[in-house]
Amino acid sequence: MLLRPGSELLVAAARQRIPEDAEVLVVLRGQPCTRLPLREGFGLVFWLQYNLLPRTLTCDPRATWQIHAYGPIPSGAEQVAPGLAILGPSAPNG
Amino acid sequence: MILVADLLLLMGGYGLLRLLAEKARLGIVGTVSVSWLTGVAVLGVTTTVVGVAGLPTHPWLVGAPLFVLGLSSVRRRGAMVRTRALTLGAGALVAVIGLRIALIAARIPSVHNDEYAIWALRGRALSELGRLDPSVFANADALYQHLDYPLLVPSLVAWTDRFGGGEGAWHVQVALLAVALLGVVAWGVARMAGPLAALVAVTSCVAARHFPLFAIRIVGDLAAAAYALAAVLLLLSWLREEESWQLRLGAVMATGAVYTKNEGAVFILLACVLAASVARRIAPLAPIAIAAVAYAPWFVWVRLNDLGNDVVNTQVTDRAALTGGRLRQIVSGLAEHWPVPAWWLLLLAASAAIALRDGRWREVVVVAGTAAGSVGALAAIYVVTPLEVTSHIDSSAHRVLMFPALLTAVGMPLFAARSPASPSTTDQSSTPILRAGSGLGARPSTRRGTSSLIGPCEDGVGPARP
């Protein structure tokens, strides 16, 4: 498994908080929808694609629900594990 | 509920088997194995057609053809066949191995990258989104992977999921495809070369490096190998006996291979073209032609949504990629990851010599040509890969080489069985077994029974007797 510690915590929190019909933007190292080497945490994207179903991933920067990983954590986001945070609709976007 | 789902797959597969090959006698091992592969192929095609049409991929809809076929199988009873003790032994070996694999498979979650990034993901998406949802199946922007991969294995995962089976059950379902592979090998080799050869073939397949691993992992490689091997064995049977049901079932297996992995189409194309060439007939092209037609809906979906293949760089302009260092890397990489011992190739060559001496050159051409051509085609993928070639080979060659490696494993005992038509074995009445083999029907000149070295098998041989 190409995952870092905390991935399971992130999935559990995301499944609890994000509605099943939501689309989720994953921002990896400050960049949405970007391919990075696996050692930089890219494998997390696949893990989230799988475990968040039926929620689907999107590249729309206006997405209500966002997951920020291994990069800057925006204000209002809830950090659920080291380097991993969920940004929801109640917080200011971005 | 999952047992009901599996029974439906099996009965649906059996229904189509009886529809296409009413007079065929496959024996218990062949019938169960081919029925399972057929049922799963029907599920894969139906799910794809329903999904591409924009309809919900609900079990009641995608399972309807299986239900109808299953009902027809109840009405259409096949002829019971006598199965030889040794063939049953090969079947029992398959069952024991299968049970062990299933028990292991049932306990493992989907934690391998290719499972959660590709195969299980797509199955779960079909199940949880309830349709071929473009937000997953056509959304390369959001980094969903290998969107051009066909849907047979994901369909099986989704089917199992909708019937209440969790990740463990998905692994068992995929493992059953590997078990069906062994069953088809046992049946096909016993049919042409005798039950002892079948035992050798089954054991050789299981002994292949990584076979147990891929038998319990939700990936498409072993499933593609199962369908492709079944298709090759049916083509070989057709070369001996020219029964049309062999090509009809071959078309189903070809469709399964094409619907499992992209390279499945290459494997089948090679086998069909080679079989047609050696037979100097176009009939053996029917399986790949029918598979191509069945594949059309998925082909259209992929093209309409502009889904490229992640591992084929169509913009290759670097001539250096085609020569020198990269080719050496590819050859050494494929040799390193070849799933069976290299010295087996010597055994294959020795066995092929026996077959050639007996005049069975057509089998040698089809088996060796398909295996070699498949390796060549896979090597070509590594030539044009946009990925770093060594890491690409290290992460995939041991999987994709499974079909040609298993084909060589099956070829060894198959070739080693000598033909009764050969000068050294002209006395066909010398054994009861050969008498059974020679009673194949009205066209003895086109049919080659099997033989004395390992021994033929009457199990499931030829059309039903009146």
pLDDT tens, B100-139? 777 777 777 777 788 888 999 999 999 999 999 999 999 9
Residue of B nearest to A23 (CA): B135
* Percent of chain B whose predicted confidence (pLDDT) is above 90: 56
User: Is pLDDT at B422 greater than 50 in this prediction?
Assistant: no
Return the minimum-mean-pLDDT range out of B86-100, B308-322, B416-430. Answer: B416-430
Residue of A nearest to B131 (CA): A54
User: Is pLDDT at B320 greater than 70 in this prediction?
Assistant: no
From residue A52, how far is each of A5, A33, B40, B118, B198 by CA, in Å? 18, 16, 27, 14, 45
pLDDT of residue B381: 87
**Residues B117, A49: C-beta atoms closer than 8 Å:** yes
- On chain B, the residues whose CB falls within 8 A of the CB of A35 are 143
Decide if A31 touches B, using CB distance below 8 A. Answer: no
pLDDT band at A91 (very low <50, low <70, confident <90, very high): low
* C-alpha–C-alpha distance, residues B133 and A35, integer Å: 23
User: Is pLDDT at B462 greater than 70 in this prediction?
Assistant: no
* C-alpha–C-alpha distance, residues A67 and A56, integer Å: 12
For an interface test with B, the pick among A39, A50, A51, A60 (most B C-beta atoms closer than 10 Å) comes out as: A50
- Residues B338, B382: contact at Cβ < 8 Å? no
**Residues B113, A1: C-beta atoms closer than 8 Å:** yes
pLDDT of residue B464: 34
User: Is pLDDT at B253 greater than 80 in this prediction?
Assistant: yes
- On chain A, the residues whose CB falls within 8 A of the CB of B113 are 1-2, 43, 46
Residues 6+ apart with CB under 8 A from B22: B76, B78, B245
Residue of B nearest to A43 (CA): B113
pLDDT (tens digit, 9 = 90+) per residue, B40-59? 999 999 999 999 999 999 88
For an interface test with B, the pick among A56, A66, A67 (most B C-beta atoms closer than 10 Å) comes out as: A56
Structure tokens at B315: 């913009």
pLDDT of residue B84: 64
pLDDT band at A67 (very low <50, low <70, confident <90, very high): very high
Closest CA to B182 of B202, B166, B164: B202
Q: Tell me the nearest-neighbour CA distance from B255 into chain A, angstroms.
A: 28
Which A residues in the span 47-66 are in contact with B, Cβ-Cβ below 8 Å? 47, 49-51, 53-54, 56-59
Q: Where are the beta strands (DSSP E) in chain A?
A: 23-28, 31-32, 56-58, 65-69, 78-81, 84-87
- ipTM for the complex? 0.89
Give the one of A33, A43, A50 whose C-beta lies nearest to B124's C-beta: A50
As a whole number, mean pLDDT of residues B288-303 equals: 96
**Residues A45, B143: C-beta atoms closer than 8 Å:** yes
Decide if A27 touches B, using CB distance below 8 A. Answer: no
**Residues B135, A56: C-beta atoms closer than 8 Å:** yes
- Residues B411, B348: contact at Cβ < 8 Å? yes
Residue of A nearest to B109 (CA): A1
Decide if A35 touches B, using CB distance below 8 A. Answer: yes
**Residues A56, B120: C-beta atoms closer than 8 Å:** no
Residue of A nearest to B121 (CA): A50
Total-model pTM: 0.87
* Percent of chain A whose predicted confidence (pLDDT) is above 70: 88
- On chain B, the residues whose CB falls within 8 A of the CB of A43 are 113, 117
Residues 6+ apart with CB under 8 A from A32: A25, A26, A59, A61
Give the one of B113, B128, B133 whose C-beta lies nearest to A43's C-beta: B113
Cis previous bond, A54, omega within 30:
yes
Return the minimum-mean-pLDDT range out of B15-29, B58-72, B88-102, B351-365. Answer: B88-102
- Residues B161, B208: contact at Cβ < 8 Å? no
pLDDT of residue A31: 87
As a whole number, mean pLDDT of residues B269-273 equals: 98
**Residues B129, A49: C-beta atoms closer than 8 Å:** no
- On chain A, the residues whose CB falls within 8 A of the CB of B136 are 49, 53, 56
Per-residue buried b or exposed e for A63-92, using 16+ beta carbons within 10 Å of the residue's own CB: bbbbbbbbeebbeebeebbebbbbbeeeee
Phi, psi of A56 (to 5 degrees): -115, 160
pLDDT band at B456 (very low <50, low <70, confident <90, very high): very low
pLDDT band at B318 (very low <50, low <70, confident <90, very high): low
Q: Tell me the nearest-neighbour CA distance from B119 into chain A, angstroms.
A: 10
- Residues B84, B153: contact at Cβ < 8 Å? no
Return the minimum-mean-pLDDT range out of B3-12, B84-93, B269-278. Answer: B84-93
**Residues B111, A58: C-beta atoms closer than 8 Å:** no
pLDDT of residue B128: 94
Residues 6+ apart with CB under 8 A from B283: B238, B244, B247, B276
Residue of A nearest to B123 (CA): A50
Higher pLDDT, B427 or B320: B320
A65-69 and A84-87 beta bridge pairing: antiparallel
Residues 6+ apart with CB under 8 A from B40: B9, B13, B152, B155, B156, B177, B256
For an interface test with A, the pick among B110, B124, B143 (most A C-beta atoms closer than 10 Å) comes out as: B143
* C-alpha–C-alpha distance, residues B314 and B308, integer Å: 10
